[in-house]
Structure 1
Amino acid sequence: VEASGRPAGTDAVTLTLRASAAAAHAGELHRAVSLTRSALAGLGQDADLELAARVRYTLAGNLLTVDNLPAALAHSREALALIPAEPPSATWVWAAATYVMASVMASIRQGAAGEDAQRIGHQALRVAEELGVDDARADLLISMTFHTHNKRRSPEGRKQLQEARELARRSGNAPVEMRALFNLAVGCFESGDLEDCLPWAAEGLERARRSGLLSSPYPHEMRYLWLLVQYTLGNWDECARGAAEAAAQSGAGDYTAGPGLYVALARGDFTAVERARALLEGPFDWINTLVAGIVRTDAAALRGDPDEAVRSMRHTLESLTSEAGTAPDVTVRLTVLALAALADSAVELRLRGDEEGARRRAATATELVQQARASAARGEDGTPQGPEGQAWLARAEAEWVRAVSGPDVAAWEKAMTAFAYGDAYERARCRLRLTEALLAADRREEAAAEADAVRQEADRLGATLLRERLDALVRRGRLAVPAQDRTAVLTAREQDVLRLLALGRSNRQIGEELFISPKTASVHVSNILAKMGAASRTEAVGVAYRQGLIATEPTPSD
């Protein structure tokens, strides 16, 4: 636009900063970084110091959203150095707030927080209160929460975060308010208070919707967290619907739909692996890499491929480990998924009399359990992980014992109890292992009771693969299926497919009605035929009718 047509008092650098803010609010994070770098390049030698500082701390904040911590820390230091603390100014307060936030992130990811971060943070809080800059004060309170004992997991930390939320709300700064709400939600998740997590996340998403900021970083992460909690609590249909909506809004290569991939995989849809690979396309994204690693490692374990499970685990951890060598908290979970595959293999090798092969698997398992112990004992922030991390550690110990010497009842009872904080699927997976251990100890009545509990939970979740493993164990162990559960041989999803088979539906039609792929429908049909000992679809329907699995004699459609 010609100079004569531009608004008065708007220079190119300030306009570029506004453009970078718009990009960040729209979720175009790399574009926001690029625009802010352009603003920095546009500063002349005689640029106003306050504007120069503002450009640098804005760039630092944008760099944090794309996980470029070293550059963010460097630019935030430069911004702080440009503006003197005296006389007090809002620009200095925001420069200090950005530096403290970058230092906190560095301490979490790299173990390298600036020693002066706490001092500067406390000083900036005093100045922000004196000047009445409530939103900067709120931002500082959020960052300083990470210097308290147990941080956002503690009651004291949550109280401080709620104070920050109120300050941000009063000032009308929606992004800072959403940062407070996000940390409140995550604090609940980390402390195992899953039900308390959902209202904070829902409030944050509603605030983002009212502000037109649903695509900005914190609402984006809150949407993922909300879905993750639904997945963890076992509300899988709700999670799957929410993930499908998120994928429609953000595209296939977005981590927000990650919990939906966990549900799909557990329900036997291995196309989730390809969708997880799509998350690795484009610029490196920390959470995309984490989600893809979980899906790919678990899929390899479920397919009975321990070597691929270990490779996937190691590659993911290598990508997520910081330059300072700090391993991510997800280390304990990923090692457990690989340990499960190693334990399965070790048990099978012993049954075949291959003791040497079993010893090799056990040796690798011993290496991995040591990683799990280190991760749970000292998380990314240097403190022991919360209930989730400790539950995964209990399962790691049980899988390790299983790999080294065989199923152990006490170890699996401990793991199952540890997941009682709210993880429905992992608790059921541990219960299946407990069933196996009870059978090995010839405690058949207890094993039958645990098997029945696994059956009910697997059917409620629609966890096809868990149900298939249970059915195989029940057959091997010759455990009785409860008489009152005449349809227990089939999973809930297989019962749905059987009902449509009785109506003469094709695999494509079954897929359309149940919102699954034709390939997945075909897998369900094959499982039904195998479980019912039928050679054809027609024979399976006839057997189901005779056994009372279908209420009336079906009339196939044309």
Structure 2
Amino acid sequence: MQDDSPRPVFIGRDRQLAALVEDAHRVRSEGARALLVCGDAGIGKTRLVDEYRDRTPLGRTAVGGCLELGGDGIPFAPFTALLRDLSRDGGAGPVPGAGPVPEADGTGRARLFESVLTFLEERARGDGLLVVVEDLHWADASTRDLLVFLMSNLGEAPVHLVATVRTDDLHRTHPLRRLLPQVERLPRVSRLDLEPFSRDEVAAQATALRGAPPADPDLLHERSGGNPLFVEAFLDGPGGPLPDGPRELLTSAVDRLPDDARRVVGLIAAAGDRIGHTLLSAVARRAGTGEEALDAALRPAVDARVLRATAEGYVFRHALLAEAVYTDLLPGERIRAHRRYAEALQRGVPGLDEAGTALQLAHHAHAAGDQPLALSTAWAAARHAADAAAHPERLVLLERVLELWDLVPDAAERVGAPRAEVLRLAAAVCLLAGSLRRAVDYATEGLEELGVTGHHDPGVKEPPPHRALIAGLRYVRAYAYKDLGSDGALEDLADAFVVMERGDPHQAAAGALLASTFMVRGHPTRARHSAERALRTAREAGDRGSEADVLVTLGSLTAQEDPDRALRLLTEGIALARATGYVHAELRGWINLSGVLSAEGRAAESYDTARRGLERTGELGLARTQGPAFRLSMGLSRFYQLRVEECERLLDPSAGDRLIRARTWTLIQQLAFYRQDAAGADRALEEFRRLLPEESSSPPEYTPIRFTEMMRTAVEGRFDTAADIARRLLDEGDRDAPHLDGRYMSNLSSVAEVADMMRDEPEWRERAADLTAVLREAAAALPRDMTHPVDRLVRDQVAAQSSQDAAAASRTLEGLLPQVREHRFHRVHLLLAAARAAARAGEPERAAAHLEEVEGAARESGLTLFAELADRIRRAHGLPRPRTRAAGEAPAGLTQREAEVLRLAALGMTNRQIGEKLFISAKTVSVHMSNLMGKLGVANRGAAAAKARDLNLG
């Protein structure tokens, strides 16, 4: 029964249609774009998109709709449909998500998202691809997550991603209320709102539908509110007075149907706004209606345009109509309808896969009020959601099991596990879904369920019952506490070890977590001891994944003490993780190896290692989800080399997980600070704090932020605040072995620079003496046999800067300079310290030579604060001004790059054209323009061009 009714007339959306087509042309020339088509129910969103699909200049089109199942969304429903359509359309490769998604190391969901992205990119090659996701307001959480991922990562692929959203249905707690503003801030996402029809447009619609103008267009416009669906329904309605409201208006066509047709329409409405014929036939048989009788009942509904027949089944003319019909059912009718669906699904429906059957069965059993069946089917459906890496949907189903538990006397027998195990599983799924606080709550409830309300009393020798389950709950809660940066993780892990039976398979994993927790909480000595024990445990148990994880942690911890051993351990951990398929540990190993090389001052090797790690993410199909961490590591390496433009090209603060985005903003803040861009630094700090609130974040994440804050207050002359921050930085770290804590050593170096700056200011010399005394004491306490090259350098640097013998300090600091040729950022700060020491020792020429190198680095990198700090030292010590510009150098204090930018701007080029000419971004050109205009003392581009001609640059 194929529907051949004409499509509703297209009226009044020419401007919006033109915007869609224009967006598509931009997709073909500029890369992927996304558009949210928003408006009230019935306003014409689908009609507009249908018209656009007919006129799009893109070569392929795929459509998927979100399903309304009373909150029980089927994971990835629209993408499952559109990906299968694209697969039938041609092209090699399996459809993403067609089989179970491996979750052994927590990367299954990321791999699934990457595979969908790659699939769409492949199908978009050539003439481009239009992807439509209808009814986003009904989307399951996994669909929303995947959509945001695609919007953020499609990049240059010619994909137009269009989603329709019913905005009048977004109640206060609807997830889209919070999500839409975030999505709209993405650079390639725009929004198109549809307004009601005007009086003339309503009249035009009525005329097109009926072949004659309406008798009373003003009344029709008033009663319909300009809503095209209501206009059409009014015209379809009976003669006489207009219906009282939208529900009566929509259901009037249903009310006129024969009784059998009305019953079938009500039965379909219990499934949502659409249903496949096979399932409907099976359900109808449960209600005593055979195939022929079903066809006879459906025919009037299709003829009356209540339903539309498709190749697979039936769809309501509009989702609002389905909702109105369902609402109009009596309670008993609804329960019977859902019960019949559940019975049909239990018997099996040809053509429905096992996962889809399980998820629909769970929905209908719950809606029918069959609590035992609802519990059992929710438990089974949760397993299928796990196979699809649909963490939010799996959590909803597990929560339903918990809600029904006390209402089903034999719940434990039906599930095959105690309630505490369901709570443990819910907590573990919360970890995967990123709901860390809920993970803590569920794990705590699970422990209380087992009678565990505090920490283990060491005086009690009798082991508690459910030892393995208690240990599992402790482990999950510790993991959540660790990632939250909250107290409690170490205590939970200690208790987990106490109750674990000898040979527990999770012992090595718990040991690995304990070591990494000590590490992120800033206790490297304890972390190292824990890692050594965990490594022995993992090897004895044959737990290769945990062994690889511990090797990576141990390598990172050993870097300060024995760099060569650290590199061996990290390399071994990476190789083992790769051989065993433990992706998380392998990628963590690449990142940490890059970090260890960077900490040793080997910036080029650090960059190459991070690049190899980035290539590995591509091989694993994780480039978009895991790649941002490696690009950030590469950016850091380039920053330390003062290759600033290369650094900036690698940074994308919208990419990666929350932690990587926050760390990216940390580096952006440092770049802005050294460029003397106060507004940019403030914005970066604001974004960082939004992502990582200090009260709920790990303390080491805030160390770079406090470093920049300390330096900024010192540069601004607020040395009291700078000194307070300096003392706080010195208080952080491992007090038992500060020389084994890289964070402490870095803090020691930066505090020494602030004390040095204070000594140049007469009114602050007394406070500087106090801080210098603390530094002198700290440097003296460091061992003389330190193995880490950068630690030895920092120790000698701090000792020299806090020395009272300026001449000796000058010689010591100059002797350290060859060790930091590659780490140019550190070298600049060391040069500033050497210049101060030389000036205090009465050696102005040596001081001036150091400062000239600093000023050259400032010109080359565009980090103008270096030059200002050098100039302050000149003024404080009466040093000569910089030498006269030599041939080939840029004039007026400009860097060579600034001079190039100014020359091209004087030729009339735009920032984008200049960027293309110099192979840099338009944003970087804008920064150079701001800096050079400041140096030239001009207020606009025209004045800068005139100045360029005066300087023979035009």
TM bucket normalised to smaller = 0.7 to 0.9
Partner of 1:352: none
Deviations 1:142-180 (A, max 9, x none): 4555797966x4433433333333332233222233343
TM-score by length of structure 2 reads 0.46
Partner of 2:718: 305
CA offset at residue 360 of structure 1? 0.7
Structure 1 residue 424 displacement after superposition:
0.7
**Aligned-pair distance for 1:263?**
1.8
Q: Work out which of the residue numbers 466, 475, 484 in structure 1 matches 2:887.
A: 484
Higher helix share: 1
Q: CA–CA distance in 1 between the matches of 2:809 and 2:560?
A: 33
Q: Is 1:426 the counterpart of 2:832 in the alignment? A: no
For the 8 Å contact 1:134–1:171, the answer to whether it is kept is yes
Residue 366 of structure 1 is matched in structure 2 by 772
Identity of counterpart residues, as a percentage? 22
Q: 1:458–1:313: structure 2 CA closer, same or farther, 3 Å change rule?
A: same
RMSD of Structure 2 on Structure 1 (CA): 4.8
Q: 2:727 maps to what in 1?
A: 314
Alpha-carbon distance in 1 for matches of 2:519, 2:753: 35
Q: How far does residue 215 in structure 1 lie from its aligned partner after superposition?
A: 6.2
Q: Is 1:266 aligned to residue 266 of structure 2? A: no
CA displacement 1:371-390 (0-9 Å, x = unmatched): 65268659xxxx94733333
In structure 1, what residue type is equivalent to 2:489?
A
Equivalent position to 2:587, from 178, 185, 190: 178
Q: Distance in 2 between matches of 1:251 and 1:94?
A: 23
Specify whether residues 91 and 329 from structure 1 end up closer, same or farther in structure 2 by C-alpha distance, changes over 3 A only: closer
Cα distance, 1:292–1:517 mapped onto 2, change above 3 Å: farther
Q: Name the structure 2 match of 1:67.
A: 485
Q: Which residue of 1 aligns with 2:753?
A: 340
Q: What residue is the counterpart of 2:468 in the other structure? A: 50
- 1:346 and 1:362 in contact (8 A); partners too: yes
TM-score (norm: length of structure 1): 0.74
Aligned mates of 2:738, 2:660 — CA distance in 1? 30
Q: Distance in 2 between matches of 1:500 and 1:490?
A: 18
Q: Report the equivalent of 2:707.
A: 294
The code of the aligned residue for 1:109 comes to H
Assess if the C-alpha contact under 8 Å between 1:428 and 1:458 holds in 2. no
* Distance change in 2, residues 1:241/1:521 (3 Å): same
**Structure with bigger RCO (C-alpha 8 Å, 6+ apart):** 1
| Contact 2:512–2:550 under 8 Å retained in 1 | yes
* Contact 1:61/1:98 (<8 A) preserved: yes
Q: Secondary structure at the match of 2:802?
A: helix
The letter of the residue matching 2:635 is L
- Asked if 1:191 is matched to 2:600, the reply is yes
- Residue equivalent to 2:500: 83
User: What is the alpha-carbon distance in structure 2 between the residues aligned to residue 144 and residue 277 of structure 1?
Assistant: 34
SS of residue in 1 equivalent to 2:760: helix
User: In the alignment, what sits opposite 1:241?
Assistant: 649
Q: 1:68-125 deviations in whole A, cap 9, x for unaligned?
A: 4x6223222322333322xx4523443454455556777x617556988755652x24
Find out whether 1:414 has 2:815 as its counterpart.
yes
Corresponding residue to 2:790 among 388, 392, 402: 388
Deviation digits for residues 460-498 of structure 1 (CA, Å, limit 9, x no counterpart): 211112134446749950442242144253232653674
What are the equivalent positions in structure 2 for 1:105-504 lying under 5 Å apart? 109=523, 111-112=525-526, 118=532, 121-122=535-536, 124-129=537-542, 133-142=543-552, 153-205=562-614, 210=620, 212=622, 224-246=632-654, 250=658, 254-271=662-679, 272-273=681-682, 275-276=684-685, 279-280=688-689, 282=693, 283-318=696-731, 320-321=732-733, 329-349=742-762, 357=763, 359-370=765-776, 373=779, 377=783, 384=786, 386-401=788-803, 409-420=810-821, 422-434=822-834, 450-470=850-870, 473=874, 477-492=880-895, 494-495=898-899, 498-499=902-903, 502=906
Gap runs ≥5 in structure 1: 350-356, 553-558
User: CA 1:96–1:304 in 2, change beyond 3 Å: closer, same or farther?
Assistant: closer
SS, match of residue 477 in structure 1: coil
Deviation at residue 413 of structure 1 after TM alignment: 0.8
Q: Is the 8 A contact 2:477 2:489 kept in 1?
A: yes
Contact 2:531 2:553 (C-alpha < 8 Å) held by counterparts: no
The 1:330–1:159 alpha-carbon spacing in structure 2 relative to 1, beyond 3 Å, is closer
Give the C-alpha shift of residue 290 in structure 1.
0.9
Match of residue 4 from structure 1: 376
Number of residue pairs aligned between Structure 1 and Structure 2: 521
1:207–1:5: structure 2 CA closer, same or farther, 3 Å change rule? farther
C-alpha spacing 1:481/1:80, structure 2 compared with 1 (3 Å): same
Q: Are the equivalent residues in 2 in contact too, given 1:279–1:288 (CA < 8 A)? A: no
2:351 aligned residue: none
Alpha carbons 1:459, 1:491 under 8 Å: kept: yes
- Please state whether the residue corresponding to 2:485 is helix, strand or coil: coil
Matched-pair contact (CA < 8 Å) for 2:467–2:501:
no
Cα distance in 2 between the residues matched to 1:322 and 1:156: 21
Change (3 A) 1:72 1:462: same
- The 3 A distance-change label for structure 1 pair 286 and 438 is closer
Question: Which is greater in Rg?
Answer: 2
Contact 2:752/2:802 (<8 A) preserved: yes
CA distance in 2, matches of 1:252, 1:105: 15
Displacement of 1:348 in angstroms is 4.2
Q: Which amino acid aligns with 2:473?
A: V
Offset, 1:274: 5.0
Cα gap change, 1:118 to 1:160, in 2 (>3 Å): closer
8 Å CA contact retained: 1:313, 1:338: yes
Counterpart-to-counterpart distance in 1, 2:819 and 2:524: 29
**Shift of the alpha carbon at 1:293?**
0.4
Displacement of 1:208: 5.4
Higher strand share: 2
Q: Which residue of 2 aligns with 1:354?
A: none
2:204 match: none
- Secondary structure of 2:488's aligned partner: helix
How far apart are residue 449 of structure 1 and its match? 5.3
What is the aligned partner in structure 2 of residue 515 from structure 1? Answer: 923
Residues 194-227 of structure 1: per-residue CA shift (max 9 Å, x gap): 33333443454555564659768xx886665443
Q: CA deviation at 1:269?
A: 1.3
How far apart are 1:339 and its partner, in Å?
A: 3.9
| Aligned position for 1:556 | none
Residues 232, 424 of structure 1: 8 Å contact kept? yes
**Code of the aligned partner of 1:6:** A
- 1:94 maps onto 2:512 in alignment: no
SS in 1 for 2:601: coil
Q: Is the 8 A contact 2:427 2:443 kept in 1?
A: yes
User: Which residue identity lines up with residue 160 of structure 1 in the other structure?
Assistant: L
- Deviation per residue, 1:491-525 (Å, 9 max, x gap): 32653674477468999x99998527999966652
- Deviation of 1:298 after TM superposition, in Å, equals 1.5
AA at the equivalent of 2:713? A
